[in-house]
Chain A
C-alpha cells in the first residue's frame, strides 16, 4: 500500500477540499503536504499512511477506506478511452471504499459493469447533473439494480451529489440503499432491484419519447443472469415490434450468477443470436475495452429501425485478482488483508 503510485493518489485531508493537497514522501516513513499554508507531516505506520484530519477540537486518524483520493483529473470535453479507463479504475477504488465501510455490497457485478457505466456518464450520454429532470437527457435504466455501487460512484463523480455522500451507502437514513431508488437519489431514473423490470420500463419511456418526436436515447444495463427472467423476453419482443431504435440494451455478460456460472443455471448463449432472432441489431464487445465500448455505444442504431443490443463480455470482479470470476464475490465484504491487497492492485491498475 505504500507504493509511490498509491501514495500519489492520496491528498492531505485538511487541504483537499479547498486546494490540491499534494503530498510528497519524505525521509522514507513520512509524507508532507505541499500546500504553502499547510505543510502538515503525516507518518506511515505498519504500511498505512496515518492521515489525521481536523474534526473540531481533535485530530482523528483517517481510516483506510476514508483515505482522500485524488481530486478528479479535469474532464476533457470529449474524454478519450484512456481517460475513461482511468476514471473507471478510480471508480473501482471508490466502490471498494464503500464496500469496506458498509461491510457488504454487490461488488463483483459492479466491477463488471463499471467500465460501461463510466463510458455512459462521462462521454456517451447527454445529461446535466445540475438538472436531473432535464427533458433532453438520455435515460439510463439501471436494470441490474443490485450492482448499484457502480451507478452511485458514477452519479457522485458526475456531480449529481457530493462524493462524500457515498459514505451513506447502507447507512440508516442515508442516501444510498442496496438498490437504487428513484426520487430519493438524484439522477436515478427508475427504482430497480427486482430483476427483469428495466427493459419493460425502458420500452414505455422510449415509446413516450418517440410519440413526442424526441431523439433522446434510452439505455438499459442488464445482467446475463437477469436474462433468466421471462419479462425481459416479453420486453425484447416489444422493443423490436414497436421499432424502438433509440433503445440500447447492454447485457453485462459476466457469466456468473449468485450461486454458480450462468451456463450451469439457465444458459443464455448464444445470446447474440437469440437477440438477432428477436429482431434486434446486435454487437458483441469486450466490456472492459474502453475503445470498443465507446465505439459500440456511439454506433447505434446498429440496424435502422431496430433496437440495439450490446452483448458485453465482462469479468465479474474485474480489477481485483482474487475476485475475478470467483462466485463468492457476488456479494461480500472484505477482511482487512483482502482490503489492503485490493487497494494495492487497484492503485497499481491506475498507473498501468
Chain B
C-alpha cells in the first residue's frame, strides 16, 4: 500500500506544483523519485510531529497542498490536538497519510501498532477517515483524498499486502464496495483484513453458506445505506478490523444498525480492548487476538445456526 501511495503521489505532484510532501523523518528510499523529480517539495520536518502538523496547517493557509506522512501512532496521537485545532477546526484540507495501520509494524511492538487511530479520528468534525484494503484501492483512495476539499486521514498498511480487487472499480469516498455477493450473512471489513473476510466467505461457501463481503474503505462518512441493506437482506453480521473493537469499524457499524436497522445477530471481531503486548509478527498478533479466518467462520456459522450472538469469538 505504501508504494502504491508513493506512485500515485508522484503522478499527482507532476500536474500540481502546490502539492508538498512533509515527512517525519520516515520513508527511507520510498520517495526517492519524488525527491529527485520535485526539488524543494519533499520536506523532512524531523521527528517533531506537533510542529509538523501545525506547519502543515500553516502551509495550507499559505495556499499549498501538504501531504503529511509518518508512522500512524506518532502522526495521529502525538499530534492529535494539532490535528483537531490547526487542521479540523480551521477546515484546512491537509492530507494525513499514516503508514503502518493496525498491526503492520508486527514485531516492533505496541508503541508502533495503531489500534485506536480510526476511533479517535472519526470523532473529529470535518475529518474524513479512509482505510483502503489493498494496493490498487490505496492508489484510488489517495487520488480521492487529494481531490477532496477537506481534511482526510488515509490509513495505509505497510507494504506487500496482496491485491484483493479482481476487477476495476470506482472509488468514491463514503461509498462501500461489495467485494462478494451473498444472501445468508455479511462480513463488513476495512483495511487489509478484508483478505480474511474474503477467505472466510470463500471457505463458508463450500459449506453452502452464502456470505456477502462489504468493504467499508471509508469509516467516515460511513455508507449507512449499504450497511442497513446488508442488515435487512442477510441474517447475521460480523465486522472485522485491525483495530480495537472499541471506536473503529465495529463501533461505527453498530451505531448505524442500532439507529437504522432491524436488530440481527451482530459481532465485532478485532483487538478485544487490549494492548498488543509481547513479540510477534503481524499475522501472529492477528491470530493471538482472534482475528482469523477460523474465528470469522465459527462466529458466523454459530450465529446463523442459533440466531444468537456467541458468548466469545476468541
User: Which residues of A line the B interface, CB within 8 A?
Assistant: 182-183, 189-191, 193-194, 196-197, 199-209, 211-212, 230-231, 234-235, 237-238, 241
A237/B62 contact (C-beta < 8 A), A194-B81, A200-B51, A200-B55 known: no
Q: Are B58 and A202 in contact (CB under 8 A)?
A: yes
Specify the chain A residue showing the minimal Cβ separation from B60: A204
Q: Are B59 and A207 in contact (CB under 8 A)?
A: yes
What B residues does A182 contact at CB under 8 A?
90
Q: Are A211 and B64 in contact (CB under 8 A)?
A: yes
* B301 CB, nearest partner CB in chain A, Å: 50
Query: Could you write out 26 A-B pairs with CB less than 8 Å apart?
Result: A190-B61, A190-B90, A191-B89, A191-B90, A196-B50, A197-B85, A200-B52, A200-B54, A200-B57, A200-B82, A204-B59, A205-B58, A205-B59, A205-B62, A208-B59, A208-B64, A212-B62, A231-B82, A234-B50, A235-B50, A235-B54, A237-B48, A237-B51, A238-B45, A238-B51, A241-B46
The dominant DSSP class at the B interface is helix
CB of B307 within 8 A of chain A? no
Pick the contact of B58: A203, A212, A234 (CB < 8 A).
A203
What B residues does A211 contact at CB under 8 A?
40, 64
Chain A CB count within 10 A is highest, among B46, B58, B63, for B58
Pick the contact of A200: B43, B53, B66, B89 (CB < 8 A).
B53
A209/B62 contact (C-beta < 8 A), A191-B85, A201-B86, A237-B48 known: yes
Complex: A199 Cα to B58 Cα, angstroms: 10
Complex: A234 Cα to B50 Cα, angstroms: 8
A204/B55 contact (C-beta < 8 A), A190-B61, A238-B45 known: yes
Total A-B pairs, Cβ < 8 A: 96
Chain B CB count within 10 A is highest, among A199, A200, A231, A235, for A200
Q: Are B62 and A194 in contact (CB under 8 A)?
A: no
Give the size category of B's interface with A. Answer: 20 to 34
User: Which residues of B line the A interface, CB within 8 A?
Assistant: 40, 43, 45-46, 48, 50-64, 66, 81-82, 85-86, 89-91
What A residues does B48 contact at CB under 8 A?
234-235, 237-238
What A residues does B45 contact at CB under 8 A?
238
Specify the chain A residue showing the minimal Cβ separation from B59: A204
Specify the chain A residue showing the minimal Cβ separation from B58: A204
Complex: A198 Cα to B85 Cα, angstroms: 11
What A residues does B85 contact at CB under 8 A?
191, 193-194, 197
Task: For the complex of A and B, list the 4 residue pairs with the smallest distance between their C-beta atoms, beginning with the closest.
Answer: A204-B58, A208-B62, A200-B54, A204-B55
What A residues does B58 contact at CB under 8 A?
200-208
Q: Are B50 and A200 in contact (CB under 8 A)?
A: yes
Specify the chain A residue showing the minimal Cβ separation from B62: A208
What A residues does B91 contact at CB under 8 A?
183
Q: Are A201 and B81 in contact (CB under 8 A)?
A: no
* B42 CB, nearest partner CB in chain A, Å: 13
Complex: A202 Cα to B89 Cα, angstroms: 17
Q: Are A207 and B62 in contact (CB under 8 A)?
A: yes
Complex: A206 Cα to B54 Cα, angstroms: 12
* A127 CB, nearest partner CB in chain B, Å: 16
Q: Are A231 and B51 in contact (CB under 8 A)?
A: yes
What A residues does B64 contact at CB under 8 A?
208, 211
Complex: A230 Cα to B86 Cα, angstroms: 16
